[in-house]
Amino acid sequence: RIAAALQANGRASWGLIATAIDAPVRTIARRGQRLLDVGAVRVSTYLDTTRVGDARPLVIQISTRPGHAVAVARALATRADASSVSVLESGADVICQLMPRTPEESARLVDEELPELDHLVSVRVGTVLKFFRSGFDWTAIPLPDATLAQLRSGEDEGPRPTGKVTLTADDDRLVDVLAEDGRASASEVAERIGVTPPTVKRRLDALLGAGVLHVRTEISPALHGLRVEALTWLQVSPDRVEKVGEALGRHPSVRFCAACTGATQLLVDCVVADEQALYRFLTEDVAALGVTAAQTSVVLAPVRRGPMLIPESLNMADL
């Protein structure tokens, strides 16, 4: 419940979380900090680079020589523009989402940087056309509406602007600090970037209110018994992409859903308890949407999720 509360509001105080889920503050603080310390939960921020530049989010599929996929994935995961990196069940395939901030960065990535990686066999690049769910807005388990309302009290529920936003130098530094630690206080951020705490709070509220910056909490799904992650590429007729994408974007098991260029129209990342649950998701939930064809691959090893570099092993007993 602490992890789910942090997914709902990663900057919520331990006191607010304790009130929302009706537990002692000292217990919540101790257990919550433990989740952060062992890497089972990571709070950061997500900057919508499509709003602050000319970013073109890319989904990249890479085939490697056998035995080298993990090394390639970990090299990609260290990139500043990496948003998600996984090794697929073939053991030789890597899929990642990268977020270069300008067309020039995109061109350099595809033309120069990717070909320089060792052990590549082939590369396929697709452009994200629309996000239906992008990761920061997913929670592993549902929380009661009253609990969510408490955790998100003070957030602006009204419509947000959709135009471009120009960041100041102080904004850039603020974003960099919160990318490292999304729970850093205004005083901590102010000390690091050389402005006053009220300035930090004002700029942070403005960026969050404009929908340019999002608090993003990544968790290890195994915390909630979700032990199977799979990617599914869907062929959908053009007139149904929006309807199917919106439906999957609301599905509780779907962490990511986007319309992309390429041979398939939608890419879906789902997280479920086991293989039987994945089977039901594909044969019941996805099939009911009337897709033309689907190709699924189980994630063998998640390497990066948002700001979280996934530990090679995370012992739940340590929690």
How confident is the model at residue 166, as a pLDDT?
A: 83
How confident is the model at residue 136, as a pLDDT?
A: 74
Residue in the block written with tokens 């974003």? 175
Rounded Cα distance, 67 and 245, in Å: 35
How confident is the model at residue 216, as a pLDDT?
A: 85
The whole-model pTM stands at 0.82
161, with CB counted inside 10 A (0-12, 13-18, 19+), is exposed
How confident is the model at residue 158, as a pLDDT?
A: 54
Q: Which residues pair with 59 in a beta bridge?
A: 97, 126
Query: What Å distances lie between residue 269 and 134, 179, 245, 307, CA to CA?
Result: 10, 23, 12, 17
Residue in the block written with tokens 């050389």? 194
CB atoms within 10 A of CB 66: 10
Rounded Cα distance, 74 and 97, in Å: 13
How confident is the model at residue 168, as a pLDDT?
A: 87
Query: What Å distances lie between residue 134 and 3, 18, 206, 216, 277, CA to CA?
Result: 18, 28, 21, 10, 22
Element housing 122 (H / E):
strand 120-134
How confident is the model at residue 218, as a pLDDT?
A: 85
Measure the CA angle with vertex 78, ends 72 and 83; round to 5°. 95
pLDDT in tens, the chain (319 residues): 999 999 999 999 999 999 999 999 999 999 999 999 988 888 988 777 777 766 789 999 999 999 999 999 999 999 988 989 999 998 899 999 998 878 889 999 999 999 999 999 999 999 999 999 987 778 888 888 899 889 987 665 555 566 778 888 899 899 889 988 999 999 999 999 999 999 999 999 999 888 888 888 888 888 788 999 999 999 999 999 999 999 999 999 999 999 999 999 999 999 999 999 999 999 999 999 989 899 999 999 999 987 777 766 554 445 4
Residues 6+ apart with CB under 8 A from 142: 252
Residue 88 DSSP SS3: strand
